Chains A and B, each alone.
Chain A
């Protein structure tokens, strides 16, 4: 009955189709909104940090302070505390990663942009591939290929037959689960968050067009939508942080000597 009613009223709940945005120019699949958002984020980040660092003063301006706070956060709290004394080499990558993901996530709640780029799974995939290549490269360079593989595959101090059980798990962790969870965690959080906001805002709008009883309920849907927008802001910052933190942890693991 309820389903029938909904079908008659014609409310289409948001679905995955809402993430397949049509190309802006003709049929070119490289001109969709997410692609433009990525380019826009790069311009935005570059401009912000160039402007904030251009006139470096002893007593920083507000803008310089903001830029340096973000940089200081990534360098000290993420890179230095996690990686240790060799951290400076990785600060550029971690910093780029953090600001890039953060900006693209925040696009999800910025009015008129309102689309988190990372809710298209290819973007997190590519970022995870970067991290994957970097931490394996660092480990191979630091330890040598064979010792590194041996360290991954064979736990010391275990009877030999047990390796049949454990080696597949270790290999899968390092080569499949790590990049996959890294990208899917970011993707799923952004995807679900955007969908949630769509449900409440579009639902509220639809209720507004209904009978008077439904109109009265509609503000609650909008209120929830606004509340969830703040919640999303938290999730978006958190996911950018976690992605960068895990990258730093993997690099730290690659540099760590056998315990």
Chain B
């Protein structure tokens, strides 16, 4: 009985890790896309060229921060 419980815990731990893995990829991707996209839009609007890069860097930083908040804090 206790063995079965620990098995279940192991499974749920590895599943959590797997779930975290996929979520992290998703967050990193959407951080780049969203803030890069906002930067690109501002570039088109203001006629500048550097805001898309700034947006992507900001998005990458923000998404890493978010990943830390979600999975690394405790």
Enumerate chain A interface residues (CB-CB to B < 8 A).
81-82, 84, 155, 157-158, 162, 165-166, 168-170, 172-173, 176-178, 181, 245-246, 249, 252-253
How big is the B interface, by class?
Answer: 20 to 34
Inter-chain contact A168/B34, CB cutoff 8 Å: yes
Chain B residues near A165 (CB, 8 Å)?
58, 62, 65
Q: Which of B22, B25, B34, B73 contacts A169 (CB 8 A)?
A: B34
**Taking chain B's interface residues, is the majority helix, strand, or loop, or is none over half, making it mixed?**
helix
**B26 near A: Cβ within 8 Å?**
yes
The count of A-to-B residue pairs whose CB atoms sit within 8 angstroms is: 60
Q: List 29 A-B contacts (CB under 8 A).
A: A81-B12, A155-B66, A157-B73, A165-B62, A166-B65, A166-B66, A168-B35, A168-B38, A169-B27, A169-B30, A169-B31, A169-B34, A169-B35, A169-B59, A169-B66, A170-B66, A172-B34, A173-B23, A176-B30, A176-B33, A177-B29, A178-B26, A181-B25, A245-B18, A246-B22, A249-B15, A249-B18, A252-B15, A253-B23
Enumerate chain B interface residues (CB-CB to A < 8 A).
11-12, 15, 18-19, 22-23, 25-27, 29-31, 33-35, 38, 58-59, 62-63, 65-66, 69-70, 73
Inter-chain contact A81/B26, CB cutoff 8 Å: no
Chain B residues near A155 (CB, 8 Å)?
66, 69-70
Known: A166-B62, A170-B66. 18 other contacts (CB 8 A): A81-B11, A81-B12, A84-B12, A157-B69, A157-B73, A162-B65, A166-B66, A166-B69, A168-B34, A169-B27, A169-B66, A173-B23, A173-B30, A176-B30, A177-B30, A181-B29, A245-B18, A253-B19
Q: B30 CB to closest chain A CB, in angstroms? A: 4
